[in-house]
Amino acid sequence: MSASSKKKLRNAEQLSQLTERQQAEQKEAKKLKVFSIAMVAAVALMVVFAIGIVTSNAIKKANMGKAERETVAVTIGDHQISAAEFNCFFVDAVSNFYSNYGSYASLFGLDVTKALDQQFYDEENKVTWADEFVNSAKENVKAVYGIIDEANANGFTLSDEDKASIDGQIATMSTYAALYGYSNVDGYMQAMYGTGANEDVVRGYFEACYTAQAYQNAVSEGLEYTDADIEAKDAENPAAFSTFTYNSYYLAANKFLEGGVEGEDGTFTYSDEEQAAAVEAAKAAAESLTSATSVEEFNKAIAALEVNAEVENASSTASTNTSYDYVNSVIQSWVTNSKREEGDMKVIASTTTDEDGKETINGYYTVYFIERNDNEILMQNVRHILAKFEGGTTDDNGTTTYSDEEKAAAKKAAEQILADWQAGEATEESFAALANEKSDDGDGTTGGLYENVYPGQMVTNFNDWCFDEARTAGDTGIVETEYGYHVMYYVGASEQTYRNYMIENTLRSEAVNAWYTEIVEAQTLTDGSFEYVPGGMILNSGSTTTK
């Protein structure tokens, strides 16, 4: 096995020990295959200072902006992409990775305190992290301009709304430039995207990204599916569109290691026999938990384990209404089996396999199954008017709390809004008009409408009100959430179940991904010069950008 393969195996072993929540977050990030570069650009705008991006070019080549704009980094079809524009793709590729995986960067072998071009992504082939992000940027260039060519061939143009969004992004950057002491927006853009950047370059980049994104959205929205299509997809794997509630507890075999020989560096080495004994002890402990007849008993048994004698609040992890993709892959097959019944318990080994095919048991999961939800429930349509809490006290962690008086003021405002509506025509139309006028949520154009609300989409109290089985069209009420008080108006149930909604979205996503992949693979990209790529970027240096 190659060095890079061994490195990936070690990473996989470490990843297998992440909590289910962390694994779920990674799965969600990995589902971002569908092109979303326009959103990436917005992310970079917001996090550039938070993650401390520093470009070496901004320091070393302060007078080279003209050269960057005149140098061709890559050519794709009839499009010559300047080094200045390519740097926008590069920086946003880095930012996208950091946004999705920043918490786990070390597990991928990335040290966020070192320059990208000073550490290897693939040491065997001498590929640095800067090289890898160049490759990601090139793939995004292929996607953007491949989609643009198809959009142009079909007479597609940006909407006025998208053009306004671009203007808004540029205006926001101007605001940030002033906030951080730059003499003009170009200075801020250079700190963010390299010294070749200026308003023309960045605007052109945004326009390209927005056009590609908008055309992809148009392609997606144009897809239609029949009941037969949905039924066929559902039949492939019925569990994929259900959710599962269960509790699980992981016992790592290394918790039970005894003996060993201490080395000069303070680490212990264990014999095969000692490691095998630890695995058996972990298995025995895991199996001792299976006599529980409730979650409460399960947690008491966990706390009573000898290995947890000094562990405070040792208990199982609760997974509530967890979708198929989010169920830990080690226990997924058992949890999602259609034969599962409430109270079922199972001990399942967590293993890794080395390059020689040898399987190693790292520990055991004990799982307590509670229920399966097939999501055969109609989604809901509701309008609301938010009277948000005002004032509050924010602590060092960014959490804001509100006094009883502040909450009472928001409640009084909500009650007055409802009273005003009841004193008028008291129709859905008048409620929508009042929402546009009074609500602290939205842009004042939607009438406070949320369509196709699915279970768990909204915060708990809002969700529970919408899905109350006694709810009938025209119902009103006031609901408190952490945002304030919501004046509610129930429009009625949608015609589509949440299950069919998920299936249709899956079909749509698969089709768009296939379309996207075909476009990218059809592109021929020719390298130019990457001299100006900011490979010396450091993601978390604690430095400030040169102004």
* pLDDT tens profile 423-463: 999 999 999 999 999 999 988 899 999 999 999 899 999 99
316 strand-pairing partners: none
> Is the domain of 368 the same as that of 387?
no
Q: Domain check: are 106 and 167 in the same one?
A: yes
Find the domain containing 300 and state its range.
243-373
pLDDT tens across 31-79, in order? 333 445 443 444 344 434 333 444 444 444 445 589 999 999 999 999 9
Sign of the CA dihedral 24, 25, 30, 32? positive
Claim to verify: residue 359 and residue 382 sit in the same structural domain? no
Distance from C-alpha of 167 to C-alpha of 459, rounded to nearest angstrom: 33
C-alpha span between 109 and 477 (Å, rounded) = 52
**Higher pLDDT residue, 345 or 32?**
345
Q: Note the pLDDT of residue 443.
A: 83
H/E stretch holding 143 reads helix 129-153
Residues 337, 395, single domain; the answer is no
The residue that leads in pLDDT, 95 or 35, is 95
Mark which of 373, 405, 420 sits at the end of a domain: 373
State the DSSP code for 289: G
User: How many whole angstroms separate alpha carbon 231 and alpha carbon 512?
Assistant: 20
Is residue 4 scored above 80 in pLDDT?
A: no
Does residue 142 share a domain with residue 47? yes
Q: Identify whether residues 54 and 180 lie together within a single domain.
A: yes
Give dist(CA 236, CA 234) in Å, integer. 5
The residues that bridge with 247 in the sheet, in sequence order, are 318, 368
Assign residue 307 the CATH number of its domain: 3.10.50
Residue 51: predicted pLDDT = 36
Final residue of a structural domain among 460, 476, 497: 497
* 432: three-class secondary structure by DSSP: helix
CB 180 within 8 A of CB 53: no
CA–CA gap between residue 457 and residue 477 (Å, rounded): 19
pLDDT digits (tens, 9 = 90+) for 351-394: 999 888 999 999 999 999 999 999 999 999 999 999 999 999 99
3-class secondary-structure state, position 182: coil
Q: Are 537 and 133 in contact (CB under 8 A)?
A: no
Q: Residue 8: pLDDT above 60?
A: no
If you average pLDDT over every residue of the chain, what do you get? 88
- Spacing of C-alpha 61 from chain mean position: 35
Is 229 within a domain? no
Q: Which residues contact 293 (CB under 8 A, 6 or more apart)?
A: 343
Asked if the structure places residue 328 within a domain, the reply is yes
Q: Two tokens at 309? A: 């004698």
Same domain? 269 vs 215:
no
Token output for 44: 């970079």
Same domain, residue pair 82 and 168: yes
CA distance 137 to 131: 10
Q: State the CATH number of the domain containing residue 411.
A: 3.10.50.40
User: pLDDT tens digits, residue range 206-231?
Assistant: 999 999 999 999 999 999 999 999 99
Does any domain span residue 147?
yes
> Is 533 a member of any domain?
no
In a domain, 237, yes or no: no
How far apart (Å, rounded) are the C-alpha atoms in residues 478 and 488?
Answer: 6
Quote the CA–CA distance of 450 and 499 in Å, as a whole number: 18
pLDDT tens for each residue of 286-319: 999 999 999 999 999 999 999 999 999 999 999 9
Helices marked H in 258-329: 272-288, 295-304
DSSP run (H or E) holding 380: strand 378-388
pLDDT value at residue 12: 38
Determine the pLDDT at residue 542.
56
Poorest-pLDDT segment among 56-60, 126-130, 506-510: 56-60
Comparing 8-22, 338-352, 367-381, 533-547, the range with the smallest average pLDDT is 8-22
The arithmetic mean of pLDDT across residues 405-412, rounded, is 97
CB atoms within 10 A of CB 403: 12
Residue 484 to residue 498: CA distance in whole angstroms: 27
- Residues 304, 347 within the same domain: yes
Q: Is residue 506 part of a domain?
A: no
Percent of the chain's residues with pLDDT above 70: 87
pTM of the model as a whole: 0.76
Q: Which residue in the block uniquely carries the two structure tokens 């992440």?
A: 18
Q: Within 10 Å of residue 44's Cβ, how many Cβ atoms?
A: 22
The helix (run of H) or strand (run of E) holding residue 142 is helix 129-153
Determine the pLDDT at residue 64. 57
Beta bridge partners of 243: 323, 373
Q: How far apart are CA 266 and CA 198, in angstroms?
A: 54
The answer to whether the CB of 543 falls within 8 A of the CB of 86 is no
pLDDT, position 216? 96
User: What is the spatial distance between Cα 304 and Cα 261, in angstroms, rounded to a whole number?
Assistant: 29
Same domain, 128 and 177: yes
Are the C-beta atoms of 347 and 290 separated by less than 8 Å? yes
Taking Cα atoms as reference points, which of 458, 421, 423 lies closest to residue 436?
421
Domain boundary among the residues 187, 222, 257 is at 222
Q: What are the backbone angles phi and psi of residue 387, rounded to the nearest 5°? A: -105, 95
Same domain, 359 and 422: no
Averaged pLDDT for residues 499-509: 96
122 & 247 share domain: no
Instruction: Tally the C-alpha atoms within 13 A of residue 64's C-alpha that lie toward its C-beta.
Output: 16
**C-alpha–C-alpha distance, residues 377 and 498, integer Å:** 6
Mean pLDDT over 93-121 rounds to 90
Q: What is the pLDDT of residue 540?
A: 78
Is the pLDDT assigned to residue 264 strictly greater than 50?
yes
Q: How many domains is the chain partitioned into structurally?
A: 3
Q: Which residues lie across from 425 on neighbouring strands?
A: none
Instruction: Say if 429 falls within a structural domain.
Output: yes
Residue 541's pLDDT band, with cuts at 50, 70 and 90, is low
Residue 234 forms part of a structural domain: no
Euclidean distance between CA atoms 546 and 544, whole angstroms: 7
Distance CA 5, CA 13 (A): 12
